[in-house]
Amino acid sequence: MGNSQNKQASESQTADSSDVYTNSFVPYVNKWGRRTNFLAVGLSLGPAVALLAVFGILPPTAAIVGAIVSVAITFGWDWFIEPLSYYPVLGIPGTYMAFLSGNISNLRLPCAAAAQEASDVETGTPQASIISTVAIAASIFVNTAMLGVGAVALVSAFQALPELWKNALESYLVPAVFGAIFAQFGRDYPKVASIGFAIALGMTLLLELGYLAFLPSYPLYAVIIVSVFGTTLIAREMWKRDMISPPEADE
Amino acid sequence: MVSHELVSITPAYMDVANSRWLWLSTVPVVLVVLMQAAIFLRRAWNDGREMGLSEEKLKTGFKTGVISAIGPSVAVLAGMLALIATVGGPVAWMRLTVIGSVAFELPAAELGVSQFGYSLGDEGITEQAYATAVWAMTLGGTGWLLVSAFGTRHMEMVRTKISNGNEKLLPVVSAAAMLGAFAYFLSGEATAGTPETGSIAVGGLTMLGLLHLADSRDVQWLREWALGVAMFVGLLVGVAIRVTVGSWW
């Protein structure tokens, strides 16, 4: 029996290897991927729990709910769209690993792609998925170590900075990052970007000048909702009228 | 640990944010990430051998993963500075090792402190506002974790279902929502003052220029470094405006 299996293996290696892949590798990865990613949901609460348990700091429920709703309005789409759109490239194991470890487009995808290229496996095959898994695992070890050492070093460096620079870092890095990311997304849809900015600026000015005071509590949520959904609705109408289209070639 | 004459004006929550307890609290989740990587790696290696992949190819895959991760990791580290300055070292490290990227964590933190009327970098951010930022990043990040934990098995099916409809609309809607949200962040910063506005404009223009260059010459490392560079140029312009003309509004 063992003999005939071996013979078969040498005769039709591709069929056999996809058997190992679908019947052994993928079920194992699904089982452990589900468990580890779900476990991480609980453990990622670590700092929030430490703030409560050690320092007794717990924000009012209303603030947490308000923040979560704002985050969900802003990023809720991406929770579903990103896994769906990266899945064909990352494969099953890569999807579990990449969404657990983050930095997907700038780190995991390039590592997986480079490794497939270097190992000379054909994209989309089980072999390619295995090589991606190996490469993403390697990238996780490297970036965890580098960010760990870097974070400790950067914290000390930051605390040793003169007050002017410390204030500058606190005040101006954030707007620069926001500007850069807005530009990155806006590159593909400049019209949508300008409309979105006009809406958001208008709403922010209305808020700061007190014209939204008729709304209950601090009406920041109104600014977010109108900015996000207003821009989305207008973009949809523009798309229907063929005024905008997704970029052709993906990177 | 921290010399007090140096941090006198730094917000009070920073002592908590960089405390030993917070470092400790980040360890379990990072261990889970490493553990998952280790067990997937072992299984991929063994099953890969059985599938006829040579030890050679597997080693090449691993080595390429290591080498390719170095450049982007340094770039991530540069972006991490913005998070370290606002939410402290431990949380910055954890959020960027697990789940997140600067493009999510920074806005999420901003949305957290904004519940109290603050903006990141404001003086006088309270410990409660800081804690809200931590909760916002944590709970907001679980969206991806839950979808990947329970959805990965069904991805193939969902994709075929979606592509029956108008799948071209999905990226448009997603990008528009993102642009609307970042437009909101931008206007919050822009109304804060002239230096902030300068940082936004120059950060954005630098990004556009670098990405254009990366595309036209097809330079991958430039793409990785674009955010880090744009961030620093924007920062310098913000500082330059503040020390020269100050803020007009």
Does B129 contact A at CB distance below 8 Å? yes
**Over 70: is that where the pLDDT of B118 sits?**
yes
3-state secondary structure labels for all residues of chain A: CHHHHHHHHHHCHHHHHHHHHHHHHHHHHHHHHHHHHHHHHHHCCHHHHHHHHCCCCCCCHHHHHHHHHHHHHHHHHHHHHHHHHHHHHHHHHHHHHHHHHCCHHHHHHHHHHHHHHHHCCCCCCHHHHHHHHHHHHHHHHHHHHHHHHHHHHHHHHHHHCCHHHHHHHHHHHHHHHHHHHHHHHHCCCHHHHHHHHHHHHHHHHHHHCCCCCCCCCCCHHHHHHHHHHHHHHHHHHHHHCCCCCCCCCCC
CA-based diameter of chain B, in Å? 68
Reading the block at residue A185, the tokens are 């997304």
CB-CB under 8 Å, A97 with B242: no
**What would the pLDDT profile of B23-79 be if each residue is shown by its tens digit?**
999 999 999 999 999 999 999 999 999 999 999 999 999 999 998 888 788 878 878
What part of A 183-222 touches B (C-beta under 8 Å)? Answer: 183-189, 192-193, 196-197, 199-201, 203-205, 208, 218, 220
Interface predicted TM-score (ipTM) of this complex, two decimals: 0.78
Does A237 contact B at CB distance below 8 Å? no
Query: Positive or negative CA dihedral for B110, B116, B118, B121?
Result: negative
CB-CB under 8 Å, B232 with A176: yes
CB-CB under 8 Å, A232 with B74: no
Taking alpha carbons only, the member of A221, A222, A80, A69 closest to residue B136 is A69
**What would the pLDDT profile of B198-236 be if each residue is shown by its tens digit?**
999 999 999 999 999 988 998 877 877 888 889 889 999
At A9, is the pLDDT very low, low, confident or very high (cuts 50, 70, 90)? very low
What is residue B136's predicted lDDT score, i.e. its pLDDT?
96
What part of A 66-125 touches B (C-beta under 8 Å)? Answer: 66-68, 70-85, 87-88, 92-93, 95-97, 99-104, 106-107, 110-112, 114-121
**What would the pLDDT profile of B151-175 be if each residue is shown by its tens digit?**
998 887 776 676 555 667 777 887 8
CB-CB under 8 Å, B195 with A171: yes
Reading the block at residue B68, the tokens are 């390719």
Whether B174 and A78 have beta carbons less than 8 Å apart is answered as yes
Taking alpha carbons only, the member of A82, A47, A155 closest to residue B143 is A82
Q: A89: distance to nearest CA of chain B, Å?
A: 12
